[in-house]
Amino acid sequence: MIYYFIAILIFVIGLYGLLVKRNLFKIIIALIIMEYANFLLFALIGFRKEGTAPIQPIVGGKVFVDPLPQALVLTAIVIGLGTTALIVALAVRIYEKYGTLDIRKIKKLKG
């Protein structure tokens, strides 16, 4: 049970970083922390105590770990890679245009 709370804690740390950091790359790192906390939680949900790898038949009352979350987390990591690559590319182009990484100075738009 404690592991679940640790995963949620990491998620909240990412959210906190997203809210207070002013540097573009620190914001990106906070986003990544949030994403990976999510993946960790998903993988933990599939975990069974003393479970075996789900590739061989069960012998003598042993249990499998749940293979579904593992497959899904793999997919989600690939999606995460795509979003991270895009947002880093955006940050690099923003640095070329504005000459700064501080979001307080990047404000041509008044949202």
Binding site for another protein (CB under 8 A): 11, 14-15, 18, 24, 27, 31, 34-35, 38, 41-42, 45, 68-69, 72, 75-76, 79, 82-83, 86-87, 90-91, 93-94, 97-98, 106-109, 111
Burial of 89 (0-12, 13-18, 19+ CB in 10 A): exposed
Residue whose CB is less far from another protein, 19 or 60: 19
Burial of 37 (0-12, 13-18, 19+ CB in 10 A): buried
Residue whose CB is less far from another protein, 15 or 52: 15
